[in-house]
A and B are shown apart, each in its own frame.
Chain A
Amino acid sequence: MLPEKITREMFDKLVSLAALELDEEESEYLRTELNHQLAAVKELSEIPIDEDVQPSLHGIDCQGNPPRPDEWQPFPDPDAILALAPERERRYFVVPEIAQLSEEGQ
């Protein structure tokens, strides 16, 4: 049985999973909007649908391109990608350590 509305607790958990953090005002506003949207999509569950109706991943029958040949084509400027890094050292992208691991260690 799915919950009718998203509670504050559920919401906070969702925010954490989404790697976000929100202040009080934002939280309340977004939670309200989220619940409104859930109400709007409620009708989806009530639509009667035949067993054999398949999910559509792309509206049209997407034929697209065949897979590509296995040929090396180096990107002409990898340094330009590295140059975008907010923090880098030597040739690495740099980030802080992950708390969980550095605490647990042994």
Chain B
Amino acid sequence: MNTTSLSALEIARRVRAGELSALQVLEEHLAQVAAVDGIPGQLDPPALDAREEQKVHAFIQVTAELARQQAEQVEAKVARGEDPGPLAGVPVSIKDIFCVQGTTTTAGSRILYNFRPPYTATTVERLEQAGALILGKTNLDEFTYGSSSESSAFQPHPNNPWNTQHVTGGSSGGSAAAVAARETPLSLGTDTGGSIRQPSAFCGVVGLKPTYGRTSRYGLIAFGSSLDCPGPLARNVSDAALMLQVLAGADPKDSTSATQPVPDYLAALAEGVRGLRIGISPDYDHIAYPDTETGEMGIQAIQPEMNQAVREVAQVLASLGAEIVENVPMPNARHGIPTYFVISRVEAASNLHRFDGVKYGYRTQKPVHDLTELYRVTRAEGFGLQPKLRILMGMYVSAAAHSAHYYQKALRVRSLIRADFEQAFDPTGPYRLDALLTPTTPTTAFRRKEVLGDSVLMQYSDQMTVGANHAGIPAISIPAGLDPQGLPIGVQFFGNDFCEDLILRVAYAYEQATELAAWRHVVPQALRAAEVK
């Protein structure tokens, strides 16, 4: 049996027991990459033929040598009878927003095309220490700005393995695609407005955004510093739990990282949902969408399969003994995207100030007369449209004359969004939820280029996910079926602060109860095309 069809848990178990060689695991996964991925994302790609169009293109860089060294170390430890770690021999891909010494870290941008960081992100270090094999850096929206991974400066951008004419979602699109296409069982992504959960939903995999601060941001190239969360993508819930266990915990290099104790995420996984209270909110069965000329907000229906999936998941959980609590009000959900437009852009614009061609990365080759021109031309040439858009928006809404109106107000609306969740989870409140169940996205994966030019429409893809980023709470997206086009549908569970174990447990119960569902055994198009067993 090819190890690409094994779960991470199973690979680790067998490697640790000496039943499976880490090097074999590595070679089989590299072969999978070679079979399905096609050419990696690059700055000056060649024209693509029809065959390449069917490829996944999850990666910017495959780090085979690095992974081989790691596999050898795992083997050596196993041979010596030493503990090789909980992820021994498990191939992991890393979103190219994480600094990893020994690789280039591009953030999907020309401005960092040659950046080789002299340090490694804490989350990646922990994976390495756990015995994981770092297989490569996955493609993403440039600087994580986007919900389709199309905006990367490294093309071709990733394609959805279920239908390569459709997007993976973003910004952790390469990560979601790599997992869905069995290139790695695990991937490390980031979630700022939904960037783990939305592509996970589009690609039919499990994606978890932990509580803010649960995983360290050290080494993660920042987008929205008060919103960014590193987290796992996996093909099943227990793998996600296993990876979270390795990642979670305080880091002295990150002042905002949480010192709350880390529970055992695997231990309680199978405890079931009997007696748990799972809420459903009418504010999450549609989206509030603005008229982009007048700003007038209107209601827009979401794809009907999404609400249907929520119903079906609720039914399954109810049959397992959970209590479904209907009509949980989340009145401030509708403000999620406007608030996000302001807060994330202010932080992003500031975080991008340091990319100026002085210290590292891209510097323009054109002759310049002075420093100001150096800054302008370098940034103009180095940044794509999405970073430029975020910089301009961020600067506008934080300008002294506008700050109170936009930025300060948005920070206060954020409190309102948080208050909705606090009320929902309050153990002495009216709802006393253990989890809140919603669709993950308003639609399934849209077609390539369909949304890219419309920045508002693109952002609204995150309307259901963004609330967790504002409130700081954890949330998980899991597959819940396929739509009539055969594209994955995802549902989401929100949880209370640091209650990742609870939402993992709920997700696991649903997953186990539907193990035999037909849709779980459909093979994604890209895998069929490659005819890999």
Query: Which positions in A face B, CB cutoff 8 Å?
Result: 2, 6, 11, 14-15, 17-22, 26, 29-30, 33-45, 47, 49, 53-60, 62-65, 68, 77, 80-81, 84-87, 93, 95-99, 102
Contacts and interface: CB of A to CB of B under 8 A. Distances in A.
A86 B409 CA distance: 40
Nearest to B295: A42
Contacts of A102: 370
Contacts of B405: 2, 45
24 contacts: A18-B349, A22-B380, A33-B389, A36-B456, A37-B459, A40-B337, A44-B342, A45-B409, A54-B415, A58-B226, A58-B472, A59-B418, A60-B473, A60-B497, A62-B212, A64-B255, A65-B257, A84-B115, A86-B362, A95-B358, A95-B374, A97-B371, A98-B372, A102-B370
Contacts of A37: 341, 393, 455-456, 459
B369 interface: yes
Contact of B290 (A40, A55, A93): A40
Interface in B455-505: 455-456, 459, 469-473, 497
Contacts of B80: none
Contacts, number: 213
Contacts of A86: 357-358, 360-363
Q: Which of A11, A15, A33, A62 has most chain B Cβ within 10 Å?
A: A33
B231 to A, nearest CB: 15
B342 A65 contact: no
Interface string B404-448: 011011111111111000000000000000000000000000000
A26 B360 CA distance: 26
A18 B471 contact: no
A64 B396 contact: no
Contacts of A68: 252
Contact of A44 (B356, B401, B410): B410
A18 B258 CA distance: 34
Contacts of B373: 96, 99
B415 A53 contact: yes
Give 9 closest A-B pairs by Cβ, nearest first: A59-B472, A42-B295, A55-B411, A60-B472, A99-B370, A86-B363, A84-B360, A80-B118, A36-B292
Interface in B272-288: none
B449 interface: no
B414 A33 contact: no
B359 A84 contact: yes
Given A39-B292, A40-B338, A59-B212, A47 B416 contact: yes
B290 A58 contact: no
B472 A21 contact: no
Contacts of B260: 63
A36 B341 CA distance: 11
B87 to A, nearest CB: 25
B291 interface: yes
Q: Which of A39, A63, A93, A97 has most chain B Cβ within 10 Å?
A: A39
Interface string B353-397: 000111111110000111111111101100101001101110111
Contacts of A18: 349, 379, 388, 391-392, 395
B212 to A, nearest CB: 5
Given A14-B396, A55-B414, A65 B361 contact: no
A34 B255 contact: no
B82 interface: no
Given A19-B372, A40-B338, A84-B359, A59 B414 contact: yes
Contacts of B409: 44-45, 47, 49
B472 A99 contact: no
B213 interface: yes
Contacts of B393: 34, 37
B256 interface: yes
B32 interface: no
Contacts of A55: 408, 411-412, 414-415
